Structure 1
């Protein structure tokens, strides 16, 4: 099976290639970064199945958390965020079953002083902090690669919006049909204000028909822009989804923020199928289609975040350091939730974001990132690496 994303990642990370054997499908190692098998795309997947966008750092990171992962306190500091707040519900869409979700969520929360779920039943509708819902009405089979993705998503949406309830909607598989059905289910759940999707796939000509899943009143949708520099993936290119790109942060010996650049492997570019939406018409870009990303935050695995997952993957479990735009999507969903803004739909949120960018208040609500490239250069103003930049507080939304 030809893995098209692997070839692109060689260009994006510029690192050597090796394979890991194991009971799971082969993962791929580039230097000290592991690409899980779930983050690899085969040609026959395009338009049919989606993949994750998370990467694992195999050496200690530079953060202050377990294994050198960035902590919630650090990410909040990088982006000027409160340590408390949040409201209603954030829905996380992932595929397959994550059997240790409740225990892992609570262990992560205990480590960083976040609210824990007191119920012992992850599926109980009465849960107030964390709940699991099955698309299709039955428990999906377990997939360890997707479980690590889900751990990242639920823990980091919670980290940035501690008072919001997190609901993990588990699709029966990573087929687009099941994932979109899970999206529809999330929309129907009471109180859902944000939906995060850290998955996607190469664009295809039929994708616009799927925009109807996101062009709805209710929650705002967020999706990872992908982990292949200068490449676009769907659903982040949908005009009814906030496309979240990636950056790399720098810190001093105390873990304090010292700078931020565009991440070399972050997805970006113009969609060949989706038209440029009205809220992007005033933005300077070279292409004529919908441009991505819209906004960005830390995604470089070298500056990855701490994640706790005990569903063993390739013989490993416990604390991980994880990067990729799979980090950015739930983080931005949490940031918007923390901001408390009420938006009728994603179009309204994107109109607000681009309005804040085009008519910036004082002080600015976005950090303009002007160094780094993903095949496209970071520029003064909007670019195909970081969009409008990274948040500075929640004033931009």
Structure 2
């Protein structure tokens, strides 16, 4: 991995740090700890519902509300810090690309919260009026929108903020499903495709697999000319839908320190599918699975090394958020930066490109060798693998 040493300054500016990072001015207490916006439900997928995967950090010193912004000498990461960590051409690439975000229920403050985040980091406005932002229901209409939901609104916030951080020149399409039922989310996926999205992100997952999931994947997540990303989950070992679908890039989570060290995050989901056959493009590496292995790649997701996000529907402003809910839209943004995420010949899979050029993904230390059930083949080292 390209080594970097950063100090996050004023949330939006990154400068070279001294040889020893400053000691935070306060001693952080994690007595309140991070929490999952969408708590774990059933541990099986038979209810055919999904939960969002965002983790919100409410510990002392990790949320700031509307009255201040995060301090300069601690996490969370700013857009510039993320772009630097993964060697991304975010300021010059991505024009003309549209990233779709699929989530359940309505976030009434999605556009206004996004405006605060982008203004704070000096990113160009992305609004309905300037044609950069669009919010639709699962039928592709601007009204009626589904009922609001506080938990899923937090998911919407981190998704919108992370695609903005990685691809600030991209347009953003938010598709809000009627509910957290997998069929509603699947229909929303098809709506995003019909709206000509180049990349579609899904920061949610079922609580396990079910026997007819291959049919579900074929119906909603098999679009060979559009790139689809999905969170691998935040509960450790295990496989979820839609990350397990064979035409989806499943995204795990890492822990990214300010000195550039990136390691596997223990909460990142992954494992061997029970029902999805091994895709042809996974045959170039050994995964230890006879069937589909999850995840494929990874990006920062550890709540202890999280990202700033802004939400006012249920929260009160600036919070540090994380989970593979952050990792997946980061990777969606990386795909969009390439400008060829929906190349007509096929979906671009990092597996195939990594087999040709071994330096386009960062190796993440893990108990496994070239493949990890937490981080897949690694995190982005530029955009050549995407």
Fold shared, TM-score > 0.5 on shorter chain: yes
* 1:303 match: 305
Q: In 2, Cα distance between the equivalents of 1:157 and 1:247?
A: 17
Task: Check 1:311–1:344 CA distance in 2 against 1; reply closer, same or farther (3 A cut).
Answer: same
Select the structure that is richer in helix.
1
Assess if the C-alpha contact under 8 Å between 2:309 and 2:318 holds in 1.
Answer: yes
Correspondent of 2:70 among 66, 73, 98: 66
Aligned-pair distance for 1:369?
Answer: 0.7
* 2:348 match: 349
Q: In 2, Cα distance between the equivalents of 1:360 and 1:247?
A: 22
Q: In 1, Cα distance between the equivalents of 2:109 and 2:345?
A: 32
Q: In 1, Cα distance between the equivalents of 2:376 and 2:134?
A: 33
Question: Is it true that 1:131 corresponds to 2:134 in the alignment?
Answer: yes
Correspondent of 1:83 among 82, 87, 90: 90
Task: Check 1:145–1:270 CA distance in 2 against 1; reply closer, same or farther (3 A cut).
Answer: same
Task: Check 1:396–1:119 CA distance in 2 against 1; reply closer, same or farther (3 A cut).
Answer: closer
Task: Check 1:102–1:343 CA distance in 2 against 1; reply closer, same or farther (3 A cut).
Answer: closer
Assess if the C-alpha contact under 8 Å between 2:44 and 2:209 holds in 1.
Answer: no
The 3-state SS of whatever aligns with 1:93 is strand
Q: In 1, Cα distance between the equivalents of 2:365 and 2:127?
A: 45
Taking structure 2 as the reference length, the TM-score comes to 0.84
Aligned-pair distance for 1:30?
Answer: 8.5
Aligned-pair distance for 1:44?
Answer: 7.2
* 1:289 match: 291
Correspondent of 1:242 among 249, 267, 276: 249
Q: In 1, Cα distance between the equivalents of 2:377 and 2:127?
A: 39
Aligned-pair distance for 1:346?
Answer: 10
Q: In 2, Cα distance between the equivalents of 1:39 and 1:280?
A: 32
The 3-state SS of whatever aligns with 1:320 is strand
Aligned-pair distance for 1:294?
Answer: 0.3
* 1:337 match: 336
* 1:33 match: 34
Assess if the C-alpha contact under 8 Å between 1:152 and 1:307 holds in 2.
Answer: yes
Deviations 1:278-320 (A, max 9, x none): 11112112221100110000000011110001102xxx32011
Question: Is it true that 1:166 corresponds to 2:163 in the alignment?
Answer: no
Q: In 1, Cα distance between the equivalents of 2:252 and 2:346?
A: 18
Correspondent of 2:230 among 211, 223, 226: 223
Assess if the C-alpha contact under 8 Å between 1:47 and 1:207 holds in 2.
Answer: no
The 3-state SS of whatever aligns with 1:337 is helix
Task: Check 1:204–1:45 CA distance in 2 against 1; reply closer, same or farther (3 A cut).
Answer: closer
Q: In 2, Cα distance between the equivalents of 1:301 and 1:385?
A: 15
The 3-state SS of whatever aligns with 2:187 is helix
Structure 1: gaps (5+ residues): 1-28, 121-126, 252-256, 372-376
